[in-house]
Structure formats: structure tokens, C-alpha cells
Amino acid sequence: MVNKNHDFLKKLLATFKVETGEHIKALTAGLLALEKTPAAGERMQIVEAIFREAHSLKGAARAVNMTEIEALCRSLESVFAAWQRNEVSPSAELFDLLHQTVDGLSLLLASTDSDRATPDKDLVRELSENLEKALRESLLAAEQKTPEKRGQEASVIPRATPSQLPMDEGTVAPETVRIATTKLDAVLLQAEELLAAKLVTGRHAAEIRETSAALAGWKREWAKIQPEVGTIRRAFEKNGRDGAAGNERFTKTLEFLSWNHHAITEIDNKLAALERSAGQDHRMLGAMVDGLLVDMKRVLMLPFGSILETFPSLVRNLSRDQGKEVELLVEGGEIEVDRRILEEMKDPLTHLVRNCFDHGIEKLEEREKKQKPRRGTIRIAITQKNGGKMEVLISDDGRGIDLGKVRSSALRLGLITEQEAETLNDQEALSLVFRSGVSTSPMITDLSGRGLGLAIVREKAEKLGGAVAVESRVSAGTAFYVVLPLTIATFRGIPVRVGKDLFVLPSAQVERVARAEKRVIKTVENRETIEVNGQTVSLVHLGDVLELPRKTPTEDSRDTILVVLITHAEQRIAFIIDEVLDEQEVLVKGLGKQLSRVRNVAGATVLATRELAPILNVSDLLKSAVKASSARIRPAAAPFAEEKAKRKSLLVVEDSITARSLLKSILEAAGYEVKTAVDGVDGFTQLRSGEFDIVVSDVDMPRMSGFDLTAKIRAEKRVSDLPVVLVTALESREDRERGIDVGANAYIVKSSFDQSNLLEVIRRLI
């Protein structure tokens, strides 16, 4: 009996927590609305509504013996009752005290165990005494007014009837029921598992169609030969009467062919019926699974504004603490989003709002000097995009981001070099704010300065398949754009094969898949590149990025490569793969707590073929690709390079005697036969009279530059296919693009010169 009572009280307390949370949200929203409502009549309607919330919460607390919450609600009722009688004058101090009391209710709700006596009672006593003091002071001030004036003021204030009061958002409508989200999650998980069954039935239907197609091919061939078989039978029956044994064997053969035709026809008929049945089953199951998934996702979708309920209070408290006046505007909060996405993004969005408040909005005196409104504005706008996406804009009208401080912070952390700091354009510098540790705050506070928040924001968004971007203008403000999916769990994916391994790439990030000839691959600064739609992009082997063993040269003897171009956050990289499969719907499965964060992997899925395949994390993949592309290009070929090098002849074209001697010694030490030229004219003269396997040339030279030399080589028929490597101090993007345009196979900048890079490029080219 004791256990039954205990279980009942436990369930009752759990229900009370949910109800109290709704009442507290309504009280907070009501107080914030009161501060913004100047009209007395509208204020009294709001007071009436929050009065009822406090009264309902008091009754619920009494039912579960939560005496501290009951006592605080009683104190709130006293203030609201006096407000209704026009005996309380609203003030900033009173609103501060009321907000503190509601926050106290939240603290009391968080500690619902039986051993909370002393701390909670002290809190209740302090808050209650403060409310009573404020009420006495207001009543004393009201007594100083004439009775006539009080009566006149009271007479013009309309009293709202219950039917006139707006229904609170937290009120549960009669047609709704309350159910634990864990139960809904379990049902959704089972519904998502049905997607695998849908994919498998689709695959089975496709396999039956393929078998039917194969039989159709057999039938066509049989139709061609069947008349000949009949002709042979008739001829044999007419002329083959001699030789009984041979006649019997041939007759049996003809009878088998006839029987085979009828048997195959019967199988074909049954297979056709099975194909129709499998197709119907797949369509029916597919429709049921799709409908169930859509309905379940709708059940678990919540208005985006549900995670923003505490933000107005957060901004208000920060304003009081920091001495700023800031208004929070929210637009599009009614857009419904998967609850799991909201839970993941609540903390990142909170950080963005704090970031706008602390780094963006100026102090009052600074805003006045800039002739800005005293009250700053932080805006959160949610808009729905095509393709099941949404965009969350968090912006402020503050000072903007100081790019000089961003560069200095990144330089101090070693994220960029001094040369890079000088050459970065504004957008590239602005993107550094998402790097861990980068901060423009002059000191670390409890609000900001550690430089971790924005990095976490980007990581969270990318983990959900989204992206983050930022725009900023000095003295005009900053805007963060967070693009997220409306739902998670399923998406369109493209399975690709590397060697024997299968991986899945999100279709949304795959720009195109194409086959290209190996000869179009070029090298810039020891990085392989390929031209796509007139733009040069980096080229890497997906297997290298994932650290899989590379094929040996004998295994990879094809003249073409299969390339998948991936785009993410304005970054484009081409990956070499071995095979691409048909695009299909993919169910994302987590890797478990033990593998919660695996580089390059976002999850796993079971394909329609029932093969298990990792789902690749595109953001990680591009970062890993940048590192992999700067590594040695073809380490697998290195063991054969030394023997091959001894048979090759190189021409070094360099006007500096020091650089010319250095290159000559490096290449001769590697086993190459090296000849030198002092400039482009000398080099081209030697090319016309000698035989060389490759040219290594400087760019900035007298009489003929390396660019002009390369162009002349490409125009000369005898040496037009000769590989050319440009080694130069010119490192601008324009110079590199010009090198590619004139036909250079590789472009190595001297400031980052590494002899192993040069040797590796030469080995690959010859």
C-alpha cells in the first residue's frame, strides 16, 4: 500500500512540474507584455490573466504540498490584486522584483526533493518580504492621492471578463492530450525503421524486373531460332529414317528444346504476376510508411518560438546587468520544426543572442555619440526555404565586427601567418570568427571572450546538416545566418564506392558527378586540380581523405577517373571515386555514445541492398581534403621513382644563378640528368635542339618570362605535350590562374618551397 501511494505521489509530482512550467512561462510572458503596454485598459487585461495564472499555480502547489511555491504565489496575488484596484503604480523596480519572484518559482520547481527546507525557505522569505515592502510603499503613495481622483482613475479602467481575456499559449485545449516525449520518440523510431523495409521491398521489386528483363531477352532470342528448329525437325523426319540410334537422340534433343520453351514461358508468366504483385506491395507499403513518417514527424514538430520563450527574459536581465537598453524582436516563431533540432540548437542560439548583446550592442553613451537610438535591437527572424530548409537570422544594430581584432586574434593563436593576415579579404577574415579561440573581446568575462561559442554554433549546425554564415558592417551591425533542415532522420543520399568500401554522400551537397580523362589533371603548388565549368577546383582521392589504402599502378590502369564534386559553405572540392550507385532515400542511424564524434562520419545507414554504409560528414570531409591535398600526391609510386628518374632528362630555366644551382643540385641528387638555361629565350632554344622529359622554370625572367615560355612550348607541335612546372615567387591568385591558362602542369610558390614537393610533382608528371 505504501509503494502504491509513493508511486501515485511521484506521478502527481511529475504532472505538477509540467503544469507549473506552463504557468511560469505564462507569468514571464505576461510581465514582459506589461512592460511594453502603455494603455491602461490593455494592461488591466494582462494583469487579470497573470493574476489567474498565479492563482491556479497556488492551488496546484497546495495539492502537492509545495508550501514554498504556494507562499510565493500568494505574495504575487497580493500585488496583482492591488494592481487591479489601481493601488499599485508600475515601475522598473517593481517589474524587476516581480521577475525575480517568478525566477524564484523556477528555482523552487527545480528542487522538488524533500530535503530542500532551509535554502528554499530563506529564498521564499526574502522574496515575499521584498514584495510586501514594495506593496506597502505603493499603497502609501496611493493614500496621498485624493479619494476623488482615485475613484475617477478606477472608473475609467475596464475590467476584463474571462471571455474577453486572451487564451494563454500554454493552455491545453480540450481536444489535446499530454503524452511523454520519450514515448513519441520510441514510436517515431519504429516508424523510421519501416523505411528500411520500404527500401528492401523496392529493391526486391527491381530485382524481379531485372529477372523479367533477362527472360524477355531469352524469349527474343528463342523467337529468332524457333523457326529454324522446326525446319530442322521436319528435314530430319523426312531424311533421317536411316540410323535409329541417331534419330532417337536427335528427337529427344528437339523434344527438350520444345519442353524448355514451354517451361520458360510458364516461369515467365509466373514471374510477370510476381512482378505485378511485388510492385503493388512496394507502392502500398511505401505509401503507408511515407504517410506514417510524415504524421509522426508532425507530432514531434514544435513551433520554433517554443525555444525562444526564455529569450525576452534573458535580454531583459542582461540589459539590467550591463546598463544597456535592448529590445528583442522575434519573427516567424510559428514555423514548425523537428523537436530534436530545436533541442540541439537552443544553446547555440542563446550564445548568438549573447554575442549580439555583448559584442554588438554599444553602451548608451556610445550609441548617443553615434546618433543611434538609445535602445538597441536584436532581431530573430525564422523563414522557411525550399527543399525542407529554414533560415534563422540573428542580427543586431550594434558596432559590427572589428576585422583588425579578428586578424590579430587569429594571428596570435597561430591560425594564420602574418602574410595571410595581410592578404585575407574582408569576407575571409570575417569567417575566422568561427575558428575556436578567436575573439574580439579584450578580456574574458562570464558572458564572452573565450572564443569558443561561435565555433560550437557552427559545429552544431553542420552536425544537423546545416550551415552558418555571417555579415557585418562597421557601426551598422552584424547578422548571423543559420540554415537548418526542418526535420532530421531521412534525406536523399548517393552511395559511392571506393575500392571495396561503400559510403553515402548527402545529395544536397553533391553538385555533379562526371567522368574525366586523367590528362586534364593539373598541379598547382603540389595540389592536384581539375577544371569544372571553367573554374579550377582542388582534386583529391576520397580514399586518401578517409585514409584507405591506395590502388597500385597496375590496378589503376584506366585512362579516365570518376569524380564527384561536393559543395558546402561556398567551398568546392572534387573527389575521385571508383563507382557511384543510384540515389536513394537514406535513414540516418547514430553511431552510439561510444562513437558520438568520428571524424568524417556523420552516421550510418542500411542501403536497399542491405549493405551497411557510413554517411560522410561533408563539413569534416572538406576540411580533411584540404589537408590531404597538400600531402604527397602519390606515395604508392615512390618506390619505383628512383629507378625511373635515372632515365629522365630535365631542363631548368632560371635567371638567378643561386636558385639555378640549388635546383640543379636537388634534381641531380634525385638521379635526374639536368641541363640549365639562363632565361626563357635560352630555354626555348635548347628545347628545339635537345630532348627533355620535363621543364622546370622560373616565371619572372628577362627577355622571356616563364608564362611566355610555357605558351610557346604549347604552341610548338614537337614539344606541345612536354610537362612544365613553374617555380616562382609570384603567389597571387591571378598569377596562379595565368599559369594554368598558359598550360603549366604545376605551379609551386617559392615561399612554401619544399624539395620533396617538387620531386613528387616531377615523379607524377613523368
Model's pTM, two decimal places?
Answer: 0.54
- What integer pLDDT is reported at residue 86 of this predicted model? 78
Mean residue pLDDT of the chain comes to 77
**Residue indicated by cell numbers 551497411:** 612
Distances in Å between the Cα of 485 and the Cα atoms of 386, 508, 603 are 10, 11, 16
Return left, alpha or beta for 243; rule: phi > 0 is left, psi -120 to 50 is alpha, else beta.
left
**Short-list 603, 600, 607, CA closest to 582:** 607
Q: Which residue has the higher pLDDT, 361 or 43?
A: 361
Q: Percent of the chain scored above 70 by pLDDT?
A: 78
Contact assessment for residue 761 and residue 522, using Cβ atoms and an 8 Å cutoff: no
Residues 504-558 pLDDT 10s: 998 878 888 988 888 888 877 667 888 887 788 889 989 888 888 776 554 556 7
What 8-state DSSP symbol labels residue 731?
-
E-state strands within 18-71? none
* Architecture of the domain whose range is 492-631: Beta Barrel (2.40)
413: cell is 593563436
734/521 Cα distance (integer angstroms): 19
Q: Within a 13 Å sphere around the CA of 215, how many CA atoms are in the beta-carbon half?
A: 20
- What integer pLDDT is reported at residue 518 of this predicted model? 84
Contact assessment for residue 393 and residue 469, using Cβ atoms and an 8 Å cutoff: no
Contact assessment for residue 746 and residue 695, using Cβ atoms and an 8 Å cutoff: no
Q: Which residue has the higher pLDDT, 528 or 254?
A: 528
- At 632, the pLDDT band (50, 70, 90 cuts) reads very low
CATH says 2-162 is which class?
mainly alpha
- What integer pLDDT is reported at residue 637 of this predicted model? 39
Q: Which residue has the higher pLDDT, 410 or 357?
A: 357
383/334 Cα distance (integer angstroms): 10
457/467 Cα distance (integer angstroms): 9
* Architecture of the domain whose range is 303-485: 2-Layer Sandwich (3.30)
**Residue indicated by cell numbers 532515400:** 585
- What integer pLDDT is reported at residue 50 of this predicted model? 84
* Architecture of the domain whose range is 636-765: 3-Layer(aba) Sandwich (3.40)
Outline where 144-243 has alpha helix (H). Answer: 147-155, 181-239
- What integer pLDDT is reported at residue 557 of this predicted model? 61
106/100 Cα distance (integer angstroms): 10
Residue 308 backbone phi and psi in degrees, to 5: -100, 5
Contact assessment for residue 49 and residue 56, using Cβ atoms and an 8 Å cutoff: no
Residues 327-369 pLDDT 10s: 999 999 999 888 888 888 888 898 899 889 988 899 888 899 9
**Cα 312–chain centre separation:** 27
- At 397, the pLDDT band (50, 70, 90 cuts) reads very high
Residue 148 has pLDDT above 60, yes or no: no
Q: Where are the domains of the chain?
A: 2-162, 181-299, 303-485, 492-631, 636-765
The amino acid present at 91, given as its one-letter code, is S
- At 112, the pLDDT band (50, 70, 90 cuts) reads low
Residue 149 has pLDDT above 50, yes or no: no
186: cell is 520510441
- What integer pLDDT is reported at residue 449 of this predicted model? 40
